[in-house]
Amino acid sequence: MPFRATFDCLWCGNPHACRGTDDLEGWAQLCPACIGKAGDNGFLRFRLHQALTERGATARAPTGGTAPTGGTAPATPAPATPAPATPAVTVEPRTDRDAEMLAYYEARAPEYDDWYLRRGRYARGPIHDAAWNAELDAAGRWLDGLPIRGEIVELAAGTGWWSPLLASKGELSLYDGAAAPLDRARERLVAHGLRAHLHVRDAWTEPDRSVDAVFAGFWLSHVPRDRLEGFLGLVRRWLAPGGLFAFIDSRFDPQSSAVDHPPPAGDTSVRRLDDGREFTVVKVYYEPAALEAALARAGFESAQVASTGRFFLTGVAHVTR
């Protein structure tokens, strides 16, 4: 992200003004209090590392390291910049959009399920809400009917809406890039008396083993078009021969989002929280045929992507070897 002299903290939303262009806060767009918490929080740590890298790259810029004034910094750090040590390999570089999306979901965790439950700003009247509930139920029944068993990985699992169902079918590991949604998922699993492994882990991190099934709910629509095949290739690498990839995702419908969300602009959408904070996220409404073709190109077999009607897509594909 470029340096910002004044900003609202990406984590807590409080405004902050920097004293100078050397202030790490302006590079991370985090207030001093949140920077102080970076040791305990994956997202804050990631922003801090990125800020250090970007500030260092600007200082070493071939122009003589002129410090940016009022918001111009190189979009990409110089390749020679020493990167902070990362625990695992991600197949794609993280982008500012990735960071903004994680910040959004960290902050949204307490209100995320309002979307599923059509509460508050997500309530769209009895007709639309009844259709939503029926299709959500159909998607759940579809998932329940798949031959999912053995070791299961759920990527970008969020608050774990689908996790109890998955955990009842095998040994589930659920991962998300943000910690706050996983806390909700843990509560949900405990309420169901189910066990699972929960870890903060980037969805783009290379697999560390092969498993029998991978599930991703409402995640492929957050994968930009030019990274879709790369991501599906990564999913394939998660799977042992005979493995299965299943997903549920969004279809575009004007009543599928909050009442105060503007319509999508191309492949990005502006999202608002209850407190009014706004974030821009990648949200791609893929067509079933496009997903089936991308799955085939990534080496999956018998890919089947279907629509529940207005709101959701369901997809399943296999690897044979």
Q: In the complex, which residues of this chain contact ligand SAM (CB under 6 A)?
A: 98, 101-102, 105, 156-158, 161-162, 176-178, 181, 202-204, 217-219, 222
What are residue 293's phi and psi, to 5 degrees?
-65, -40
CB 109 within 8 A of CB 181: yes
Q: Which is nearer to ligand SAM, 222 or 251 (CB)?
A: 222
Percent helix, strand, coil in the chain, to 5, is 35, 20, 40
We find the least distance from the C-beta atom of residue 174 to ligand SAM, in angstroms, to be 9
Q: What tokens were used for 157?
A: 């699992």
Nearer to ligand SAM, 33 or 88 (CB): 88
Q: Where are the alpha helices (DSSP H) in 154-194?
A: 163-167, 179-191
Query: Which positions ≥6 away from 243 have C-beta within 8 Å?
Result: 210, 211, 212, 213, 214, 318, 319
By beta-carbon proximity to ligand SAM, the closer residue of 151 and 176 is 176
Pick between residue 157 and residue 317 the one whose CB is nearest to ligand SAM: 157
- Tally: H helices and E strands in the chain: 10, 11
Q: Give 56 or 164: the residue with its C-beta nearer to ligand SAM.
A: 164
**Sign (positive or negative) of CA dihedral 163, 206, 11, 285:** negative
| Residue 206 Cβ vs ligand SAM, minimum distance, rounded to whole Å | 13
Q: Between 122 and 162, name the residue whose CB sits nearer to ligand SAM.
A: 162
Q: Measure the CA–CA gap between 153 and 175, rounded to whole angstroms.
A: 8
